[in-house]
Chains A and B, each alone.
Chain A
Amino acid sequence: MRISPYLALVAAGALSIPLLTHDNYVIQLLNIAILNAIVVLGLNYTTGWTGQINFGQAAFYGLGAYSTALATKFGLPWIAASFSAILVVALASLVLGLPTLRLRTHYLAMTTIGFAEIVRLIIVHWEPVTGGTSGLRDIPGIDLLGWHPQGQIQHYYIMIAVLALAVVVAARIRHSTVGRAMIATKDSEIAAEQSGVDTLRMKLLAFMIGAIYAGIAGCLYASSIRFISPDSFSGTQAVFLMTMLIVGGMGSIPGCVAGALALTILPEALRFLGQWYLVLYGLGVIGIIALLPGGLASVISVRKLRWGHPQ
């Protein structure tokens, strides 16, 4: 943990942001960025560490959000609703993962796209329950043992706390037997098995942990924005999440967070350009991929190399 001074600096910065701005729009944007960061950290287990391509992550995000919305609207207490939403997502990932993770790379990519499409179609067409394309409104808010956070800033602190937990869990797993086994599975499946790693189990575990991350973020999304519609969890969103992971730096925890923050905030920051913002945005993404194949995370390691501390 040599980077702990930096980590402390980042944490202090994150905690003091609401003191610097009271602009609700900025805080809400940050809240969305933090939720994206949690979802991307989840995607990193499957794609960044275990090397499986997963376009179903946005669907798990949506599944978590809709399950929470429906359960709280039905009258379940918030804690019970969020736990049941996470359970639904975990079960869905188990049922999807068990038969499909035997497939390799592009076949898995196709099945996850198919799964995402099924989830989307159900949300759009099961109107009496899901509200169809117009979505669900007036979702009950967060209720933590009687505390109801009000306003963007209180929600911001909840999101930051959950993100911090998500990062700590990811870092602990990365440096455990399980984390090494995941990366071994990506680097060489055959050698991993010859070293005694059950690669199928590792892929399933990574897939499920990743889905649970998305489920938790979905739950927070539904209960903080209090309005959800299928657009937020579409196939485009899945590609967007994958882009955040690549731009941030596959396999790097700070990279995941940086990628999600950058790509959530950038489109808003470029909004003054009108229609041209997409052009600049696209060029920016291509530029990062071309110049920094390791993503934003590699900036740190490149500087380390310059200082003469090869990793």
Chain B
Amino acid sequence: MLRVENLKVAYGHIEVLKGINFNVEAAEIVALIGSNGAGKTTTLNTISGLLRPTSGVISWKGENINRTPVEAIVASGLAHCPEGRRIFPGLTVRENLLSGTAARPNNRKAIEEDMTLVFDLFPRLKERIKQLGWSLSGGEQQMLAIGRALMSRPSLLMLDEPSLGLAPIVIDQLFDRIVELNKRTQLAVFLVEQNSAMALEIANRAFVIETGTITLSGPASELAGNPRIQEAYLGG
């Protein structure tokens, strides 16, 4: 569904992605793990159109989206839930969710149905429906950011560090929800995480990125058992 071929991205003269290849298929959960500065967020930002590649191909549902405008990429079913959540603090929970529908046709009934789905998944959001974004806790903000991304009706959801800054128990709940979502709606998930243990637990497949190059890939369970991974990312 998503195929990335020989993707290179540079900030000025500094090459951050040095030709990476990977793919994500329908209904899969794929994790991209790596340490700080390895190029994880750059990969996501390039796929969603916030950055442009210097070379290589990003192919989405068979089409090259290297130069497609950000809004058109969202409209085509590729949603990006950004690092650090970036919810809209001045809008209510409901308005935050509605702003996720900006790229789709204004069909009120379908939008309300999708909002019900988000509230089924994260009942806490429903309790806070009229509260302004800034007044939510970190975990609730993350739920809201994911909910907002879901409101664009994606077929692939890209999550950038959803566990960042959250308490372990909240992370557990959040990851349970992500799995539930994937099972229930067949939504493909591309998960970028520093919390490798959690990511490998829920993913089907995973890639390891180190300074702009993919160094390992395979089924998540296999990677979790790999001694090198255990040493570098899972704390021995």
Contact = CB atoms under 8 A, between A and B. Distances in A.
A310 B132 CA distance: 10
A194 interface: yes
Given A184-B91, A190-B82, A193-B70, A311 B132 contact: yes
A183 interface: yes
Given A177-B106, A181-B99, A196 B74 contact: yes
Contact of A311 (B102, B104, B131): B131
Given A177-B106, A195-B148, A310 B131 contact: yes
B102 A195 contact: yes
A192 B100 CA distance: 8
A194 B90 contact: no
Interface size classification for chain B: 35 or more
Contacts of B81: 194
Contacts of B69: 198
Contact of B99 (A184, A251, A310, A311): A184
Given A181-B99, A196-B100, A187 B70 contact: no
Contacts of A188: 86-88
B218 interface: no
A122 B48 CA distance: 46
A83 B99 CA distance: 34
B71 interface: yes
B8 interface: no
B70 A191 contact: no
Contacts of B102: 177, 180-181, 184, 192, 195-197
Interface residues of A, number: 20
A186 interface: yes
A191 B87 CA distance: 7
Contacts of B152: 195-196
Interface in A162-193: 177, 180-181, 183-184, 186-188, 190-193
A196 to B, nearest CB: 3
Contacts of A198: 69, 71
B90 A197 contact: no
Contacts of A251: 90
- Name which of B48, B70, B74, B102 has the most chain A CB atoms within 10 A of its CB: B102
Interface in B118-160: 130-133, 135, 145, 148-149, 152
A177 B88 CA distance: 14
A187 B71 contact: no
A194 B82 CA distance: 8
Contact of A194 (B50, B89, B133): B50
Interface of B: 48, 50, 69-71, 74-75, 79-82, 86-91, 95, 98-104, 106, 130-133, 135, 145, 148-149, 152
Interface of A: 177, 180-181, 183-184, 186-188, 190-198, 251, 310-311
